Amino acid sequence: MRASRVLQLLEGVEGVKGPLADGDVADVVTDSRKVTAGALFVALRGEKFDGHQFAEAALAAGARLVVAETPAPPGVAWERWAEVRDSRRALGVIAANAFGRPGDELTLVGITGTKGKTTLTYLVESLIGPETGRAGVIGTVNYRYGDTVVAAPHTTPEPVTLQSLLREMASAGTTHVAMEVSSHALEQARVVPLLFRVGAFTNLAHDHLDYHGDQSRYIAAKRRLFLEHLDESGVAVVNADDARAAEVVRGTLARLIRVSLRDRAADVVVVRSLFGGEGLRAEIQTPRGLVRLRSHLMGEFNLQNIALAVGVGVALELSLDQIRHGIERLRGVPGRLERIENTRDVTVLVDYAHTENALRSVLAALRPTTRRRLIVVFGCGGDRDRLKRPLMGRAAMELADLVVVTSDNPRTEEPAAIISEIVPGVESVGRPALDADAFVKDSAIAGYTTEVDRRAAIRLVARAARPGDVVLIAGKGHEDYQIVGAERTHFDDREEARAAFGGTI
């Protein structure tokens, strides 16, 4: 954080009430336990705690100023309290001011949607080759720029972390940043006051309703990217094949680029495609001409991501050669249909698919490449949306031949209880339940089993797999941990698969 003063940090904050006294600020915090002398404390209302309850503790710890949505309590000096209309939006502006508004120095590409955000950030990063600039990425897998890679505790960081990261990127010579903008982040105003040159919408499906409550609030959160966060020359690149696309961008003042796999009236449209076990080929028509390309990414859902990346490239005014080269040089995305090499002639893939639609898309992409049986092992996270559990079970059994239902991150729920809510969806397809011995027999053509221990489940499918089979380990993707109760321990599906299928960790 740069050396800052109170009035500098509050510049642009909406609805500030009362007289303000200037003075040096040492830090900006939202946790009263982290307050040091001279800090500015922003009181936020959260799901579990209300920061306003800790404001006086922050003052006692030496905070120079509290920013809150309520008037100062009796006895608090006026110069130590600033009342604002919305603390979360205020925090975004304060954080941006604290780091010198780095977003203004960068070309920002914001990507929102239920699926595909991570893959699209990798594609956009690849588009920005040395002939264009230097790219940074903020997303689910990590935050990275140049040779710097930082672990990602949140898909979209909290404002102070986000603005600090953008400052580091800008200072290091980064020119473009591809950012996953989650619905949580949009609802919590984490990206205020950033303005994006391009906003991209991938798709919208059943997800995060444990947080948003219903689909209408989920959609409303996504819409904020296009209504509040595109700059004057901004462009909205949208998947026109999604039924909710028009609703998500309704009212935006940005120029619109519609992308489609089949609608010839779209601005960017796939006119020809060919899929295989090693990737895909496509011809994509754009307003500036035809792009012929090949990609290491697999399946129709990745063709949609690639088409969206072409749309982003058009919005950034890249040449068609830059777009083609950028897409072709991306070899893969961590935890997204990531191939696990082995010597058994079994195709083993690890993927992050953790919703019904995502699981259906991945399995549908793998089915045409499967010479023998398609086997999937998956689970559902605890303390999250319970409605999707039977839906994922049904999707797995409808599209795969053999299914193992196991644990994901059970968190504070009983793992066996989570599995019991998945199984009715599996059983609704009418395939038989198999014990472990029957599951691994060469004669096992269709059916399901359950195994609470995820490591044991992966080893079970390794025992069952035969040459020509395709094995999908779904749900955790790039994650290298498992959360059981309150404990977070190391667990990586890719490492477990390499060990189970005879490779090396």
Within the chain, all domains assigned CATH 3.90.190.20 are found at 338-500
Question: CATH classification of 338-500, choosing from 3.40.50.2300, 3.40.50.1370, 1.10.3720.10, 3.90.190.20?
Answer: 3.90.190.20
Cβ–Cβ contacts within 10 Å for residue 14, how many?
A: 12
Question: Of 247, 245, 273, nearest to 259 (Cα)?
Answer: 245
pTM, whole model, 2 decimals?
A: 0.93
Q: Do residues 59 and 78 touch, judged by C-beta distance below 8 A?
A: no
Quickly tell me which residue has 């609608």 as its tokens: 263
Cα–Cα distance measured from residue 488 to residue 409, given in angstroms and rounded to the nearest whole number: 9
pLDDT value of residue 216: 84
CB atoms within 10 A of CB 477: 23
Secondary structure (DSSP) of 418-442: HHHHHHHHHHTTTPPB--HHHHHST
In the chain, CATH 3.40.1390.10 sits at: 4-98
Domain ranges in the chain with CATH number 3.40.1190.10: 102-328
pLDDT of residue 173: 97
Q: Tell me, what's the pLDDT at 206?
A: 60
C-alpha closest to that of 409 among 380, 441, 450, 438: 380
| Alpha-carbon separation of residue 478 from 133, 211, 304 (angstroms) | 27, 23, 21
pLDDT in tens, the chain (505 residues): 888 999 999 999 999 997 789 999 999 999 999 999 999 999 999 988 999 999 999 999 999 999 999 999 999 999 999 999 999 999 999 999 999 999 999 999 999 999 999 999 999 999 998 888 999 999 999 999 999 999 999 999 999 999 999 999 999 999 999 999 999 999 999 999 999 999 999 999 865 445 545 678 889 999 999 999 998 899 999 999 999 999 999 999 999 999 999 999 999 999 999 999 889 999 999 999 999 999 999 999 999 999 999 999 999 999 999 999 999 999 999 999 999 999 999 999 999 999 999 999 999 999 999 999 999 999 999 999 899 999 999 999 999 999 999 999 999 999 999 999 999 999 999 999 999 999 999 999 999 999 999 999 999 999 999 999 999 999 999 999 999 999 999 999 999 999 999 854 3
What are the CB-based long-range contacts (under 8 Å, 24+) for 487-491? 491/454, 491/455
Homologous superfamily of 4-98: MurE/MurF, N-terminal domain (3.40.1390.10)
Contact assessment for residue 139 and residue 179, using Cβ atoms and an 8 Å cutoff: yes
Which class is 102-328 in CATH? alpha beta
pLDDT score, position 505:
37
Query: Which DSSP letter does residue 104 get?
Result: G
Q: Are 425 and 391 in contact (CB under 8 A)?
A: yes
Joined tokens for residue 229: 């966060």
